[in-house]
A and B are shown apart, each in its own frame.
Chain A
C-alpha cells in the first residue's frame, strides 16, 4: 500500500462522524423517505390531519379578512397618519427574510461543499417558496386596489405610462419576482431525480402518471447527470448573489427614504444577516417537528442541528452588531433627528418592542456558544421560536417607530393594530403551514439522490479499500 492509500483508508475507517446515522444503504434511504409519501390516504398520520384542519381554517379566516379588506379598503388596518406603513410591510419583510435560509442552504452551502446540507435542503427550499408566497401577498393587498396590482409590472397599457424605474419599490417587484421564480426552478431541478424514484416505485396508476410526467423521463444516465450537475452548480452560483440582492433591495425600500432610522448604509448587510438568521430559526422549528413526527432522526441528526445553531449564533451576533452600530452612527453622525429616533426606540413608547427584539435576537442566540445548548433539542426549538418573534419585532421597530415619530412632533401618533392586522398575519402562518403540510405529504422532504451521494458507499474508492482488505 502506498501512503496515499493509507490516507484514504484512514479517512474512511476513522473518518469524521457519518453524515447519515444508522448505517444506511442506498435502498434503505429510498425506502425511509419514499414510504412517507407513498402512505395510503387512510394511513396518513392523525397528527397531519389535525394540523391540516387547523392551518387550513386559519387560511380561510385570512381569506375572508382579505376579502373585507379589498371591499372596504386599507382603512380596516391600524394605518393612520403618520404611520402609513404598518404590519403589511412588517410581514412582507418578515416572510421574505424567512425564505432566505432556504436559498442559503441550497446554494451557498452547496458552493462551500457543506455536505450536511443534503439532509435539510429540500424542505428548506420548499419553505423558501412558501414563505415568498406569503410575502408576495402583502404588498399585493397593501396597494389597496389589488385589482390593479399589475400596474407594478412594465406592461403596455391604455394610459401609455411606464413604471418609475428609479423607485426601490419597483426594484422590489423585480427582485422578489426573480427570487420566487429562481427558487421554484432550483427546487424543481433538485426534485427531478427523486420524482423519478417515486415514479419507478409507484404501484397505482394515478401516481405513476403524475410522477411520470413531472420526472420528465429521467433515467439517471451519466450523460444526463453530467449536464444536470453542471446546471445545479450554475443555479447555485447565480442563486447566491440573487439571495443577497433580494434582501438588499428590500432594505433599499427603507434606506433610500429620508426617514430617520431608515436612511443608513448599514441596512443591506444588516437585513441580509437578519434574514438568514430568521430563516434558519424557521428551518429549525420545522425540522425539529418533522424529524420527530416522521422518525427521521437518522437523517437530520443532532450534528445537523448543531451546525444550524452555529449559523444562528453567527448571524445573530451580526444582527446584534448592527443594532449597536446603528446607535453608534446615530451619535457619531451628529444628526439630531437620527439621535432622537434611536433614543425613542430604546426609551420611547415602543421600548417594549425594542427590548423584546434585543432579548430574542441578541441574547438568546448567545447561549449557542455552549455545546450543551447547541445539542439540546427542546432548547433549540424554544430558541428558534423566540428568534422569529424577535425578528418580527425588528421589522416592526424599524417600520413603525421611525414613521410614528417623524420630523413634526405635532403629527406624532401611536400605532395600534386592528383585528384585521392580527388576523391576516396569523392567517399567513396558516397559508405557509398548509402549503408545507401538503409538501410533506406528497413530495419527498429529503433529497434522496443527494443523500445517497454523501454516504460512504457512494464513493467508488470505498470498494477499492474493501477489495484490498480481502486480498
Chain B
C-alpha cells in the first residue's frame, strides 16, 4: 500500500490513439475495475461496450419531461380559457382543443429540451470544477489530441502500485498519480 499521507485520488495513463484506448478499456474492464473512465477529445465509437457501460437512461427522463410539458400546456389553456376567463371567440367552444394543439406541441418540446440538457448535466454530475484529473498537467491534452484512462482510488480493487503496473502493462504511457495540491 502507498503512503497514507500522500492521499492518491487516482491514477491516469495516456494512450496514443482511439484504438489503444478501446483495447485498453476492455482490459481494464476485464480486470474487474469499476471506477474508471476513458477520456478522449471526441466520443470514440465502441467505448461504451468496451467499458461495459449500460445504455444511457436519459431518454426515459425526457419522455417524462415532455409529457409534463404537454399536460401543463393543456391544463393551462383549459383553465385560462374555459374556467377562469370565459370569452367566446369566433363562436368556438370554450375548450376548443384543436386550437390548443400548437401551444401544447411547443411546450412539450420546450420541457423536453430543458429535461435533456439539465438531465444530461445531472447524469454527468456537472458542473464540477474540482475533479482530481485536473491536477495532472498532461491531462490538458485530453481535450486536444490525447487519450487517457483514469482509475479512481474509490475503486474497491484500488492499490496504487498494482494499478500503475497494470496500466503500464497494457501500454499506458506517462502513468501518473493524481494528488491534490495542498
Contact = CB atoms under 8 A, between A and B. Distances in A.
Interface of A: 25-27, 30, 154, 160-168, 170-171, 174-175, 177-178, 181-182, 185-186, 188-189, 193, 196-197, 199-201, 212-213, 216-231, 234-235, 238-239, 241-242, 245, 249, 252, 448-450, 452-453, 457-464
B140 A201 contact: yes
Given A162-B81, A225-B44, 13 more contacts: A161-B85, A165-B100, A166-B90, A167-B89, A171-B106, A177-B106, A193-B42, A219-B139, A238-B109, A449-B41, A452-B42, A457-B17, A459-B18
Contacts of A168: 102
Contact of B18 (A174, A193, A197, A460): A460
B40 to A, nearest CB: 6
Given A166-B90, A222-B51, A235-B116, A460 B45 contact: yes
26 contacts: A26-B145, A162-B81, A162-B85, A164-B87, A164-B89, A165-B99, A166-B89, A166-B90, A166-B99, A168-B102, A177-B110, A181-B110, A185-B113, A186-B113, A219-B134, A222-B43, A222-B48, A227-B58, A227-B123, A235-B113, A235-B117, A241-B109, A449-B42, A452-B42, A457-B18, A460-B19
Nearest to B145: A26
Contacts of B25: 222
A167 B87 CA distance: 13
B143 A193 contact: yes
Interface of B: 17-22, 25, 37-48, 51, 53, 56, 58-59, 62, 66, 76-77, 80-81, 84-85, 87, 89-90, 92, 96, 99-100, 102-103, 105-107, 109-110, 112-114, 116-117, 119-121, 123-124, 126-131, 133-134, 139-145, 150
A47 to B, nearest CB: 29
Contact of B144 (A164, A201, A217): A201
A4 to B, nearest CB: 16
Contacts, number: 215
Contacts of A154: 76, 80
B16 to A, nearest CB: 9
B127 to A, nearest CB: 4
A384 B133 CA distance: 47
B85 A231 contact: no
Nearest to B77: A165
Nearest to A29: B145
Closest 7 CB pairs of A and B: A26-B145, A463-B19, A221-B37, A231-B120, A216-B127, A162-B80, A200-B140
A450 B128 CA distance: 23
Nearest to A189: B117
A464 B150 CA distance: 24
Given A154-B76, A189-B120, A460-B46, A245 B58 contact: no
Contacts of B112: 234, 238
A220 B143 contact: yes
B59 A230 contact: yes
Nearest to A466: B19
